Structure 1
Amino acid sequence: MGWAIALHGGAGDIPLSLPPERREPREAALRHCLQVGVAALKAQRHPLDVVELVVRELENNPHFNAGRGSVLTTKSTVEMEACIMDGNTKRCGAVSGLSTVVNAISLARLVMEKTPHIYLAFDGAEAFAREQGVETVDAINFITPENIERLKQAKEANRVQIDYTQPIQMDPTKEKPIVDGDSQIGTVGCVAVDGEGNLATATSTGGLVNKMVGRIGDTPVVGAGTYANSYCAVSATGKGEAIIRSTVARDVAALMEYKGLSLKEAASYVVEECTPKGTCGLVAVSATGEVTMPFNTTGMFRACATEDGYSEIGIWPPSAEN
């Protein structure tokens, strides 16, 4: 048994041709956040503190679809959501529909610790944030030029886009969609376990490009995009509707608890057999310090480290990256 940590920056149709100017800042951010998380675990911080700390770092990075980088709804607004959960106690907190809160994951933790509830959304969540004195900014601060362009491309293609879907633009000469430009940005999450088997998970997102106002994805739904118990901690990413239907995060834990599967076996089964191809990825750690990061999409920005010295930062399957 030993500590372990894993984090992700979203899964989807990430082309192998992703240019360095798009790839390298995200890889650097994952590397930095992994170092932050490892340092916190080595300093014997509780895993709940670790996952919140790491996800805050990811939220503050505009290269990912959370916090500052959150994608836009069909009305050109931002609606952020997040969830955090402690494995041993199953205490959890979730928020949706945030438009001014700088770090949604920290508000989710306050919901867990300062209210009798689990989930607050929209006006109620914003009011609670003001009551708690968390950092807020004008909603316009979350609307980046890049995400304005992403919304424009999604509208032109008349689609709602999963993390990292390649943008589609209209060919003016043929009046049909063509794939062009960079890929979209992804949901973020982190899972951690300490040397005593304490587990925690945290996930944060801006949702889907061109989503309907009021749409809620898998991230804040306990058991779908985010779940932890005494067996494992899981954070999922991808197409929220598919992840909700498959109760992805909870099913990984249930297969371990009721079927006696290992973490790797359980996570692989859920990703490969229970969710449609191209819709899901996850990171997970077990109480004994195992770590796994499966996905059925083209790629998933991911990183992990364990106490025994293993570490990994990747985007595509190992066979594709070699």
Structure 2
Amino acid sequence: MLHIHFTAEDLGRTRLATGPEPMWEMLLSLHKLTDNEGRVVFDGWRRRVRTVDRTGLPMSARWLPLLAPPVGYSPDFLTPARQAGDLGTGLDLVLATPRRRLRHDLTTLAAQQPLRGPVAELADGSKGALHQLGRALRDYHAHALAPFWDRIRTDVHADLTTRGKTFLHSGIEAVLTGLHPGARWNPPVLELPYSRDHHIHLDGRGVRLLPSFFCWGRPFTFHDPVLPPVIAYPIEHDLAWTAPRSPRDPGRPLAALLGRTRTAVLTTVAAGGGCTTTELARRTGISLASASQHTGVLRDAGLITTVRRGGHVVHSLRPAGAALIHAPAGRGRPR
């Protein structure tokens, strides 16, 4: 059982994530790829991941299950505590992990299983191993998650919308007890099903609640209670989420509504899982000023969201934008 100890200050500082986080989805999907849990929900995805081009995982990523075993401990550094809504930011945070953190986490992993190959090199602090890790994570994401990212994002945002309404109507305690059917709120302690008996004392830090598409069965959190508290929790799934969408060109009806350039901007934000204005301008072949103008219009329309991270502005698709892109094409005049 997971025991989360709140203070009154913690309840005020508890917050929801703003969307799916690629690094958490990568870790938890690696678990699902190898543990065979949730077969009704995930077996279709497993088959597609293992059979694309008949190669299974990309060669560069085949060692990742050794770093993220489905049972027991997975290194905390793979899921940064700082919010990272896009792949680039998440990878930067992972690859900037201090050497002492790498050594601490991989020493913990070594107590559970022998470290082999690139995992052992990571434990030694090799810069080449970190580069290899970055390539493996990027290739795994492109192979296993990117083809489904629109659906992942839409379902996570749907959960966030529901939690937000629960908070407005019933308060934070209703949000906490709604994280899992087995949740129990015994003030000031929230108890959640977990893989082991684990206590987290928030001590005024609050906690970030992260809905996760690949979290299954019970919530997931850091092994080290000193890290900023994050609770990843399972969401509901449509059993047909891996079914291919009917082929059509979304650009044609969207272009009639939004214009060709603005359609390109919206679909580029969707395809990238979030991107900066500079990346958006480069991918669409327009100027920075034009990219800023179009994202402003799309943001005002509620189709994308924009947040500042460091020196960059990152644009991400909102549920309304995803719904617009994937809306069925018209079939002629209504009778």
Decide: shared fold, TM above 0.5: no
Greater share of strand: 1
TM norm structure 1: 0.25
Greater share of helix: 2
TM norm structure 2: 0.25
Higher Rg: 2
